[in-house]
């Protein structure tokens, strides 16, 4: 039996573990020298070590990992996990995990692309998208996520069309104000319209904004204190408390500027940023429209309340330690999705077990929404046999 067992489960968040040549290998020949270095791979946690230059794990290693069976999530993490950087191996891993479909994000490229000099930003995004598409092409159950910066609208439209043609099934964007504009600026409408028409959700994920609070907030006058930053957890305790702020702002502005109203078939996913903040965001947005409808007349023209728009069009992945049932009680069961974070350590050794516990008080219908159907709604426009 697979790890998922008899329950129908779709996985809204997994990762490939890039090797140091990931970007250069997939870049146009003339752009290879200008690719940002994947420096994050050189620290003590993410060092790919013996995997550099290898197409996959050695046959005896694959055999040992396959022997873990439905205990695969309790096995090695990062580059040492089955299917961490080889798409054919991920197909085998997915058989053991038993997920119907699995979304695949890169691990190290987002900030490199969003912060890259404008002269190479879009070339780097294209190389990234080719690499993710190549990995995900190994199995139709895999949904690869491309990255498209929105700063230059003409180039963004070129890259999002290419990403769609590559077979990628979602588009990761930055949580910043792109090009000094609101994400709801009318000039972005062709981008949102394209995603809506092609059934490609937009994604905000860890990496859509800087992971860490600025250094002044770490200056507590106690140099003997240590932080978890830079280790296996990547972020520290202070970072966790505010990691959702950029996504909260981006999504709120998108709603108040009317993007979800203008494009009611547009879908979005807020992934690996937690979800305990979502019920309060919905309340604030509904209050904002009620309070400012007279002084900001465009709000009065909304045909659906913000909460209704989000319930229909946006999905969130809670952290394994969050209380999913409490979120559902405070908002709506259609908002939340299961994620494993495979093969990252943050997903834990038993994500299904932890989410099963945190959804224990929900009805079976609500649980099926969480583990299965909310995902299917979000990715309804991405065919499984593409």
Averaged pLDDT, 255-264: 98
pLDDT tens digits, one per residue of 287-312: 999 999 999 999 999 999 999 999 99
Neighbours of 3 (CB within 10 A): 23
**Confidence at residue 233, expressed as pLDDT on a 0 to 100 scale:** 60
Averaged pLDDT, 48-70: 90
Classified by CATH at the fold level, domain 11-220+228-378 comes out as TIM Barrel (3.20.20)
**Confidence at residue 367, expressed as pLDDT on a 0 to 100 scale:** 98
- Position 280 confidence tier, pLDDT thresholds 50, 70, 90: very high
Q: In the chain, what percentage of residues exceed pLDDT 90?
A: 84
**Confidence at residue 208, expressed as pLDDT on a 0 to 100 scale:** 93
Averaged pLDDT, 124-150: 98
**Confidence at residue 172, expressed as pLDDT on a 0 to 100 scale:** 98
Averaged pLDDT, 200-219: 89
**Confidence at residue 229, expressed as pLDDT on a 0 to 100 scale:** 67
- Position 128 confidence tier, pLDDT thresholds 50, 70, 90: very high
pLDDT tens digits, one per residue of 166-191: 999 999 999 999 999 999 999 999 99
**Confidence at residue 52, expressed as pLDDT on a 0 to 100 scale:** 81
Q: Is the pLDDT of residue 69 over 80?
A: yes
Averaged pLDDT, 251-273: 98
| pTM for the model | 0.95
**Confidence at residue 44, expressed as pLDDT on a 0 to 100 scale:** 55
The Cα 282–Cα 272 span in angstroms is: 19
Please identify which residue in the block is written with the tokens 């910043």.
176
**Confidence at residue 239, expressed as pLDDT on a 0 to 100 scale:** 82
**Confidence at residue 115, expressed as pLDDT on a 0 to 100 scale:** 94
Q: Which residue has the higher pLDDT, 213 or 14?
A: 14
**Confidence at residue 5, expressed as pLDDT on a 0 to 100 scale:** 95
Closest to 196 measured CA to CA, from 124, 259, 279, 266: 266
Q: Is the pLDDT of residue 344 over 80?
A: yes
Q: Is 193 exposed, middle or buried (0-12, 13-18, 19+ CB in 10 A)?
A: middle
Element of type H or E holding 203: strand 202-205
- Position 315 confidence tier, pLDDT thresholds 50, 70, 90: very high
Closest to 122 measured CA to CA, from 25, 19, 27, 22: 27
Partner residues linked to 103 by β-bridges: 143
How, if at all, do strands 102-105 and 11-15 pair?
Answer: parallel
pLDDT tens digits, one per residue of 15-46: 999 999 999 999 999 999 999 988 655 555 66
Q: Is the pLDDT of residue 100 over 90?
A: yes
- What are the domain boundaries of the chain? 11-220+228-378
Q: Is 351 exposed, middle or buried (0-12, 13-18, 19+ CB in 10 A)?
A: buried
What are the b/e assignments for 96-123, b being 16+ CB within 10 Å?
Answer: bbbbbbbbbbbbbbbbbbbebeeebbbb
Structural contact between residues 61 and 89, judged by C-beta atoms closer than 8 angstroms: no
Q: Is the pLDDT of residue 148 over 80?
A: yes
Closest to 132 measured CA to CA, from 146, 149, 111: 146
**How far, rounded to the nearest angstrom, does the alpha carbon of residue 294 sit from its chain's CA centroid?**
37
Neighbours of 302 (CB within 10 A): 17
Q: Is the pLDDT of residue 211 over 90?
A: no
């Amino acid at each position: 039996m697979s790890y998922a067992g008899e329950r129908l489960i779709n996985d809204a968040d997994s990762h490939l573990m890039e090797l140091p040549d990931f970007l250069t290998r997939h870049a146009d020949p003339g752009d290879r020298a200008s690719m940002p270095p994947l420096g994050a791979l050189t620290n003590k946690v993410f060092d790919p070590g013996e995997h550099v230059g290898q197409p996959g794990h050695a046959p005896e290693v694959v055999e040992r990992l396959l022997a873990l069976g439905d205990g695969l999530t309790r096995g090695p993490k990062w580059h040492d996990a089955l299917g961490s950087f080889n798409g054919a191996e991920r197909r085998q891993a997915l058989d053991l995990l038993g997920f119907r479909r699995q979304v695949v994000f890169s691990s190290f490229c987002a900030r490199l692309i969003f912060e890259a000099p404008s002269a190479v930003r879009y070339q780097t995004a294209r190389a990234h998208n080719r690499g993710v598409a190549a990995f995900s092409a190994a199995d139709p159950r895999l949904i690869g996520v491309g990255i498209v910066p929105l700063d230059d609208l003409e180039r963004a439209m070129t890259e999002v069309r290419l990403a769609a043609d590559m077979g990628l099934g979602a588009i990761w964007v930055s949580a910043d104000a792109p090009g000094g504009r609101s994400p709801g600026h009318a000039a972005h409408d062709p981008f949102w319209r394209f995603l809506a028409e092609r059934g490609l959700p937009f994604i905000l994920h860890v990496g859509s904004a800087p992971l860490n609070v600025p250094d002044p907030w770490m200056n507590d006058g106690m140099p003997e204190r240590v932080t978890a930053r830079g280790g296996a957890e990547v972020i520290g305790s202070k970072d966790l408390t505010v990691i959702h702020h950029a996504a909260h702002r981006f999504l709120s502005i998108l709603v108040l500027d009317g993007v979800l109203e203008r494009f009611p078939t547009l879908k979005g996913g807020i992934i690996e940023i937690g979800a305990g903040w979502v019920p309060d965001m919905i309340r604030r947005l509904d209050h904002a429209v009620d309070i400012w409808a007279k002084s900001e007349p465009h709000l009065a023209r909304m045909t659906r309340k913000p909460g209704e728009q989000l319930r229909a069009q946006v999905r969130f992945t809670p952290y394994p330690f969050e209380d999913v049932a409490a979120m559902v009680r405070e908002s709506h069961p259609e908002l939340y999705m299961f994620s494993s974070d495979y093969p990252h350590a943050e997903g834990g050794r038993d994500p299904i077990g932890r989410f099963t516990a945190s959804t224990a008080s929900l009805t079976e219908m609500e649980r099926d929404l969480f583990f299965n159907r909310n995902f299917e709604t979000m990715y309804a426009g991405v065919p499984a046999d593409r």
